[in-house]
Chain A
């Protein structure tokens, strides 16, 4: 006795317009086989080329989805009715290569479906033999794109593994040149690259790893003006920045463009990673609504970083980017991973999306990008700076001085007290002759050692910590204290190039 199959609207042209068709067989699979034998045009719409039922074809036995029964081997009884019910799905392109329609004009083979060359099939063989990746997944990677913010410690391992894995388009934003102090951890760059632009050496390195990919470079800083346009064209943003204004900017731009943020940060021996700004999950601001006061959290340039640490954290970020593109596994959404290299321990904190979050909450107050330097309380550069090293003493503002001015005063025999607020290990590397070391952390209990009747110039490595020291000393009554802008690095550049920089 035959069973009936209900045919959905789009397939009726294949069944002579019949809404239902009578078929014979003992199982669901046999009924479908009988159907496609009678109406051969149905086959390619119901089955993939390798004979599996397409994932957007739902088959119901009476009112039950056969996925929850015994799939195609589900037995059927007389009187059972089968229905083919479409899942209708689609979506915006995930990458330029994914725009099928755009390719239509160029000929019959421009379907836009990415293909793998024989060389790529060999190259990705260890991916292709895993069912979780396979040909479909590898094509997703090829059609996928990741924008790395920064080609430094975190961006290096992430971009290198993404390139090797076959992520089709990697964008890198950076504006720096390679310095000797980068080589301890930034493996995109080699010794012969010192002095070159980081983008140039990164591009060479990535294309050497995998010439099948595209590397797009952007020689700029990420700003409120360019972030949305930059992010829009990528599937995943990989935040490898080392400062708070850019971190908040990247977060907000990810929320506003709907791009997931594979986040990582490193300091000394500890690293952190998470995936922020997905629709369902929290963003960086849900975790930290406000930035820390400027100078409180030292950067890697000031506090140092174990060179191998970004290798772990950057690779975790890259792993998350690959999982997001493939759509497999459990992404690090709503979880904050903390890694301690000294203890060799991972901890995980649960994060919740904050409904009151100013950018991703239910009533956001941040709906466009703002001034992040100001948000993070970082003083804008005084205009006097742009007048260059020749600026006269009068043009310097009341709380800052420059290396050149300091040198002039010392040469003129002025009695200036030079206060170094760095750490002792930094003092061992280089110092301004005649300076006195009181690390910033010790200043509150040692400021009595300073002369109240002399001009004091405070300095650190780059000017951040000494700005805090200057502010503190003024608050406890020192009137004649100034900060050395740019720190000892500026002193070495402009006054004493014989000393090593770090």
Chain B
């Protein structure tokens, strides 16, 4: 009987929990009461992490496709094949014919070594993570405006925020521990503002619920900025001391009309005003939004950060911007440079000094032109250029819903898949390399509050699979690189040399407390609770002007319903881990069982008006086509809105045809007519 503290493998909260083991089996899980992120609470996924971890369904040995069928082979044979193919493709088509993609659930060590393999050994910047299309917008905007691509404050501070504004994320289902904090903060007296088309569980507690029409956030936040300016609530001291570009921003804001904005957003002017005043006047106000999974345009992120700068709600306790990452290591994977245009630590690949610095540690010359994104690769193999792809824990056939991934994979000369199970993507692989499971290796994840934490090894893996990071090291060695990492701790030591804000994050230091929040440097080994807590250096903040969008009326007359395609809600239902727990399957996939032909969600009042009952067949008629599907009637969806879960692909295709990838995200609804079929 033994137990060890570890970090949960599911979402970006990074809850601390204990895994109980007996005779090399994980037999139980219990939350940590002292862990600063969750303090004794976890969600239904965490409560079943012990069931997931013990699934017998996993891959035991490397698989090599021979004559169209998979055959179990030795590691030497598998990695030898991979190395030979990689070299052949590079020799014939150039380094940029190769791409290295991973999942935001990969560990820091795996991610770091994967992009190092790509850049230092293969010679390409074609690296990206699976949710890149969604979250890179946020990173670029944050870097631009506040200089740090991450949540500025800590989760624990939410209990001390006077005002909390939550934009477009259903915390109760996506990040429940944070949802709980927000609910408890509200119960303790905080004012809760929810900006969301959906009335979710946490929204039930809102003091101010701005249930806006999809696609109108820029208008709403611009209007709020206007109110703040008009009412003289701008924190001029803050703006003058630390912000740039205020005038350009102000010029645009003055073009916003509160009443017109209210009309188009579908939210009363009064409510917008109250929200603006509450946010501006609060001693400490926090904005929470989600960066990954859900696609969102850069303008709406800019508009939110503008508000924080306008009112000085950055750099103090209980305030800040929470750029929430929904996967356990989306933050870490980005910190490690799994982006085509940024190195580990976010310096641009186009910057020669940055390349020289990293290349100095790696003893390699780094490629200078930014690489292809995951989206570009799946759309058309980046114009047909990509011929070989390495996928670490990434299952794009299932999750990259916007493209025909199988078609892209089938045209490649090399598809390497590292995973625990034989996923849908693995079916198209030339080589499948089995990794070890959660709890079978010691690695680190970086949570949404910048907390770099160790996920402990609690049991020995079965014979056969190897840790993903070791597979990368061996591959590099076969390719001739003199990589020599004896442990993940050694990998982290090197990460500390390359990523300045990880420089103090040795495993020893991380093990001393509950991880460390970066920046964690040699000078600041205890890490940083909230950014700018020691003061704001120079003038690092920048307003971004966001003009009034070109939108005269919300919806065309004959297509009055706004249809949005949601990627976050129901995301975890497709997750391969969830499919290996009886209970999680029952809980998260039950909606798929109740509606076996798929479904779209419509508002209950709208349904009543059209004589549609839950489970009825309905027709959606748009300008580009029409689709037949099943109605799921719920009070959560805003009247006049239709929510399409991302896995209901036929609806997307039938309505949008070729335009599918562009439209249909939260920023740009597609307008349709709804009727009973």
Is the pairing of A and B real?
Answer: no
Interface residues of A (CB under 8 A from B): none
Interface residues of B (CB under 8 A from A): none
